[in-house]
Structure 1
Amino acid sequence: MNDDISGRGDPLKSLKLLWEGNEPPKRGPRPKVELMALVRAAIDIADAEGLSAVSTRRVAEKVGISPMSFYTYIPGKAELLDLMLDTVSGIEIGDVPEFDPREWRANIKLMATGLRDFYLRHPWVLDLASHRPVLGPGTMSSYEFALRVVDGLGLTPVEMDLVVTTISAFTIGAARPQAQARKVRDATGLSDNDWWFTIEPYLQTVDYSPYPVAQRIGPIVGELYGLGDADMAFKFGIERLLDGFAVLIERKGKA
């Protein structure tokens, strides 16, 4: 079974730890470290080495406790993943700002760009399979931020949530290949340009006549940005989403 699944552990234990933390012992010595020290240590390991490097032993050693002591704080790795995901989601939010609805396009761009940057700073979040949300304070701060971006536009509650969901899905889709490109570059030692130069001589010998549209478009695109300009694609996609939202918002204003 894949361990890298958020929500595989006991959801109530995860929620209790996120909202209440560890209860101090009624007797005996106080804990050597804070609960969040363990969670942040795990996040640091994942940021530096990837999710596969995170283990309860590694985390315990990083904060200076014995591996068995880890379980007096967190039931296991499954719950640790929940805590990591929620905590990292809220680390960079801070105080949720107010947004001017008149600047909704700029607000959505700000949210989408910030979300993409978040995934590129913490690419392991993209690798962490998650379907059931970890509804801790970090996740709620992120959701509050996103909803405020689209508040005051005349949308229904469901439409507000769907706009946020659409932006999030697009941003994940834009960030994932960029994160994967970095991973491939690090694993192979080849830049995208080096890879192209390696295969280009052979590609020049291939008959592309069965693919006339690809033959016409491919060289133009390849000369412009090779394997793809991530920033160009991201900006293009956001603008098209905004154009679509503009139709919805204008329609709601006339209703």
Structure 2
Amino acid sequence: MTTEYSGSGDLHRSLELLWRRGERPTRGPKPGLTLDKIIIAAIEVADAEGLEALSMRKVAAKLGVGTMSLYRYVPGKSELLDLMLDHVVKIPGELSAEGSQHWRAFLEADARGHWQLCLDHQWYPFVDQTRPLLGPNGLRGVEYAVGQLSATGLSDQELIMLISVVSNFVEATARTYISELQAEKRTGVSNDEFWAAQEPVLVEAMNSGEFPTMAQLSEDTFWFTHEQVFEFGLQRLLDGFEAFIESR
């Protein structure tokens, strides 16, 4: 899988488009075509076929327009990706309208929303956002999170690190889950079939006496879902942060 990077195109043009400064096409507008329609169509292509399949040609075909007409609105795929990333992180209206929550309740809800975002847009957690390009939706999300966490008494740096740690956990766990789903699709071998094929060798290894600790594990030791891993990890992370906050 080829890694895509945020902010890898024309930074100035991406920022102009993200913040809707100078978004008009450079030549005469095509009736019915807008930047938002292009972004939504691109997301639909990526959701259905993966980010590697995304191209200006496929987006244009989905919109029923010529490929060159898209370039009057957005310079290329890299800048379009920046717009897609900011579009999918938009805070739901009902969430942004809520008042202040206890910090733990907020982080639980926010992490689960982030988890669902990754499952709905399975290309999203695979984009390298080490150098994120902050658009209005992304910045509103940070603004909202900092506001919800301000009562913790943490320093400004600690608040941002807390948000980053939880976000990194969610996306890393989602990548593992999605990679497994993609492996099943790519190989035609289900996860159950994959492990069943290894069972005879593993049983022999457990009976060899070389792995006595593992041989004593219960049969259902590894029978858990990725959702269970996510919930377990999230709660343990929050337990740790709760102890840290209460110690201040």
| TM-score (normalizing by structure 2) | 0.88
Q: Which runs of 4+ in 1 moved over 6 A?
A: none
Identify the residue that residue 239 of structure 1 maps to in structure 2: 235
| TM-score (normalizing by structure 1) | 0.86
Shift in CA distance, 15/53, structure 1 to aligned 2, threshold 3 Å: same
Identify the residue that residue 220 of structure 2 maps to in structure 1: 223
Identify the residue that residue 78 of structure 1 maps to in structure 2: 78
Shift in CA distance, 24/130, structure 1 to aligned 2, threshold 3 Å: closer
Q: Distance in 2 between matches of 1:108 and 1:250?
A: 16
Q: Distance in 2 between matches of 1:26 and 1:165?
A: 38
Map 1:33-44; keep pairs closer than 5 Å.
Answer: 33-44=33-44
8 Å CA contact 2:17, 2:23 repeated in 1: no
Q: Distance in 2 between matches of 1:136 and 1:89?
A: 10
Q: Secondary structure at the match of 2:204?
A: coil
Cα distance, 1:199 vs structure 2 = 2.2
Q: Distance in 1 between matches of 2:234 and 2:146?
A: 17
Cα distance, 1:146 vs structure 2 = 2.5
Identify the residue that residue 131 of structure 2 maps to in structure 1: 132
Map 1:188-207; keep pairs closer than 5 Å.
Answer: 188-206=187-205
Cα distance, 1:213 vs structure 2 = 2.8
Amino acid in structure 2 at the alignment position of 1:79: E
User: Structure 1 regions of 5+ residues with no counterpart?
Assistant: none
Identify the residue that residue 148 of structure 2 maps to in structure 1: 149
Amino acid in structure 1 at the alignment position of 2:215: Q
Cα distance, 1:10 vs structure 2 = 1.0
Number of residue-to-residue matches in the alignment: 245
Amino acid in structure 2 at the alignment position of 1:44: E
- Answering whether residue 211 of structure 2 is matched by residue 211 of structure 1, we say yes
User: Structure 2 regions of 5+ residues with no counterpart?
Assistant: none
Q: Distance in 2 between matches of 1:136 and 1:204?
A: 53
Q: Distance in 2 between matches of 1:26 and 1:211?
A: 67
- Answering whether residue 239 of structure 2 is matched by residue 250 of structure 1, we say no
- Answering whether residue 159 of structure 2 is matched by residue 160 of structure 1, we say yes
8 Å CA contact 2:125, 2:172 repeated in 1: no
Q: Secondary structure at the match of 1:112?
A: helix
